[in-house]
């Protein structure tokens, strides 16, 4: 009985071996093509997945601004020589210590109010430089700035969307609150944009808000015909400059927010640029240099983009 069992087992093994040997060897070429077909299919899938991934990888940024408010555009007040001297006061000693304190506080309040009045008057006077440009300034709005950013290279790198409330931003997307402020230099030859950005991920329960600002200064227009140059074209050069400063500033801030780069430890230097009649200085670290712009990080760790005296060569 045991012998019969062994014979059966041997027969089974022989049968299985035969079966394995009878199976025709596959055509290697067809197999290869088949496998390459599979691979190609896989590649196609991979590419499409990559595209999708890249699309998905694009940061989805929801810009929030005071959409209905007009853009802040002011004349630039130079505060470099604000050495308000104030006035000396002889305090009466008859009123005792409490009386002396009252006199000091009253003196301080008067001085503070006088200084504020002076600053308001200065701002009002500085705004006179805008008189010829009020019409073009009216054309600037948060929405036009957003639209320009959306169609720019910045818009192709990220998914930039408009939002009115942080609560409407889908989870995982970025909330970016922006406040742009423009200034025209006293000599009307340059525009400065100060752009503040508060950004955070909407998925964070307790968001750590990125708070940075950038100061972007345009190149200088010709001294003799600044008004003609600014108002030239449709849209005017004034508007296109304001647009490009906004895109440049937003690009710098979003680039910094989205990158995890370790802070550069370059030695700090003092850089200068002309804004109005007076040269201005920034103690900063150089981050990047192009043919006509310097990208700096100042002592507050905010950004400054300044024009250089050189011009870019025009491509053939």
Residue ranges in contact with other proteins by CB under 8 A: 79-89, 91, 104, 107-108, 111, 115, 270, 272, 279-283, 298-300
Q: What angle do CA 241, 192, 254 make, to 5 degrees?
A: 80
Distance in Å, CB of 110 to other proteins, minimum? 9
Integer Cα distance of 183 and 46 in angstroms: 49
Distance in Å, CB of 300 to other proteins, minimum? 4
- Closer to other proteins by Cβ: residue 8 or 301: 301
278-289 vs 293-298, strand pairing mode: antiparallel
Its sign, for the CA torsion 267, 301, 119, 145, is positive
> Could you tell me what percentage of the chain is helix, strand and coil, using 3-state DSSP and rounding each to the nearest 5?
45, 25, 30
- Asked if the bond preceding 235 is cis, omega within 30° of 0, the reply is yes
- Closer to other proteins by Cβ: residue 10 or 299: 299
- Closer to other proteins by Cβ: residue 146 or 303: 303
CA dist 259 → 70, 251, 253, 262 (Å): 31, 12, 10, 9
- Closer to other proteins by Cβ: residue 167 or 270: 270
- Closer to other proteins by Cβ: residue 86 or 99: 86
């Amino acid at each position: 009985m045991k012998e019969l069992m062994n014979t059966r087992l041997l027969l089974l093994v022989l049968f299985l071996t035969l079966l394995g040997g009878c199976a025709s060897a596959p055509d290697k070429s067809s197999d290869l093509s088949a496998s390459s077909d599979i691979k190609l299919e896989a590649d196609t899938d991979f590419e499409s997945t990559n595209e999708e991934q890249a699309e998905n990888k694009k940061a989805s940024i929801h810009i929030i601004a005071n959409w209905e408010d007009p853009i802040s555009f002011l004349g630039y007040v130079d505060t470099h020589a604000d050495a308000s001297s104030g006035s000396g006061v002889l305090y009466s000693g008859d009123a005792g210590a409490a009386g002396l304190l009252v006199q000091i506080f009253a003196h301080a309040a008067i001085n503070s109010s006088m200084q504020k009045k002076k600053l308001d008057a200065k701002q009002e006077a500085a705004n006179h430089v805008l008189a010829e440009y009020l019409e073009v300034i009216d054309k600037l709005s948060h929405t036009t700035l957003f639209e320009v950013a959306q169609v720019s290279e910045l818009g192709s790198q990220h998914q930039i969307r408009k939002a009115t409330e942080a609560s409407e931003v889908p989870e995982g997307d970025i909330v970016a609150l922006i406040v742009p402020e423009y200034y025209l230099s006293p000599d009307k030859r340059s525009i400065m944009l100060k752009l503040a950005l508060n950004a955070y991920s909407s998925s964070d329960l307790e968001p750590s808000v990125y708070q940075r600002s950038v100061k972007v200064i345009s190149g200088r227009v010709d001294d003799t015909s600044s008004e003609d140059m600014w108002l030239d074209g449709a849209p005017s050069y004034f508007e296109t400059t304001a647009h490009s400063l906004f895109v440049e500033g937003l690009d710098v801030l979003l680039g910094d927010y989205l990158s995890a780069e370790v802070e550069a430890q370059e030695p700090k230097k003092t850089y200068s640029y002309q804004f109005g009649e007076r040269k201005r200085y920034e103690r900063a670290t150089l981050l990047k240099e192009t043919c006509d712009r310097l990208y700096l990080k100042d002592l507050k760790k905010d950004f400054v983009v300044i024009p250089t005296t050189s011009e870019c060569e025009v491509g053939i």
